[in-house]
């Protein structure tokens, strides 16, 4: 796929969920008590320092607090005055499994391939997240040309956008999720350059 812009994808910094290794899914609705830890802020500061030479023109971010905080840290270090928030960049909605143990959500699927189309009640599939990410990227590609763009989002949306931007076929996506080879699934505070 020929792109009009150059993209950098950043997963938000560490929250208490990662610090304490909570095996519980995030709530579906925004929870303003889920903020970046001090370590999470430091992760993002380091990423921002590394982006100084990349001439970032625009920052888009999920409107959730953990991504807002991450985007604001980067914007402050890079001297970018405005962050554009877009709801299409929010984390996957796990519906009935939101706020519940991760194992319950995992057990809902026979295998990971099923996660592309099977949705929990009130939630989203990976295809749903891919569709909104694709819609977002199409709008950005229509609206801008020749820009260096940073997108601050969450694990699944970043992974799926990285795959879309890399021109992967759907059957190739799983081979880039948390694997040693060609990993496009970001750790917290990790920058992906598709």
**pLDDT, position 158:** 97
Give the DSSP H or E segment for 46: helix 38-51
Choose among 62, 90, 63, 73: nearest CA to 36.
73
At 19 the pLDDT is: 86
Q: What is the pTM of this model?
A: 0.94
pLDDT in tens, 13-60: 999 888 888 788 887 777 777 899 999 999 999 999 999 999 999 999
Q: Which helix (H) or strand (E) holds 119?
A: none
The predicted pLDDT at position 175 comes to 85
Q: What is the pLDDT of residue 34?
A: 86
CATH class of 6-192: alpha beta
Residue 9 has phi, psi (to 5 degrees) of -115, 130
Amino acid 182: pLDDT: 67
**Domain coordinates of the chain in residue numbers?**
6-192
Q: What local confidence, expressed as pLDDT, does residue 164 receive? A: 95
- In angstroms, the Cα distances linking 131 to 84, 147, 168, 188 are 20, 23, 14, 23
- The DSSP bridge partners found for residue 191 are 10
Cα–Cα distance measured from residue 141 to residue 189, given in angstroms and rounded to the nearest whole number: 25
Helix, strand, coil share of the chain (percent; to 5): 45, 15, 40
Q: Which residues of the chain have pLDDT under 70?
A: 1, 178-182
Q: How many CB atoms sit inside 10 A of residue 94's CB?
A: 23
| pLDDT attached to residue 159 | 95
Q: Tell me, what's the pLDDT at 180?
A: 59
Spell out where the chain has E strands: 6-11, 58-61, 83-85, 148-153, 191-192
């Amino acid at each position: 796929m020929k792109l009009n812009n150059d993209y950098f994808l950043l997963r938000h910094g560490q929250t208490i969920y990662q610090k304490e290794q909570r095996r519980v899914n995030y709530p579906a609705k925004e929870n303003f008590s889920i903020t970046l830890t001090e370590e999470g802020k430091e992760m993002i500061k380091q990423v921002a320092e590394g982006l100084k030479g990349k001439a970032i023109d625009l920052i888009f971010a999920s409107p959730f607090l953990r991504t807002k905080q991450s985007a604001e840290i980067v914007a402050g270090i890079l001297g970018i005055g405005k962050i554009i928030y877009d709801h299409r960049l929010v984390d996957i909605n796990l519906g009935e499994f939101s706020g519940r143990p991760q194992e319950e959500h995992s057990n809902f699927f026979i295998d990971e391939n099923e996660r592309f189309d099977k949705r929990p009640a009130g939630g989203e599939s990976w295809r749903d997240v891919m569709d909104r990410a694709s819609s977002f990227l199409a709008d950005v590609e229509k609206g801008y040309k020749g820009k260096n763009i940073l997108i601050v989002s969450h694990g699944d949306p970043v992974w799926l956008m990285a795959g879309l931007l890399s021109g992967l076929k759907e059957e190739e996506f799983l081979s880039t999720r948390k694997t040693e080879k060609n990993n496009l699934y970001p750790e917290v505070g990790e920058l992906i350059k598709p």
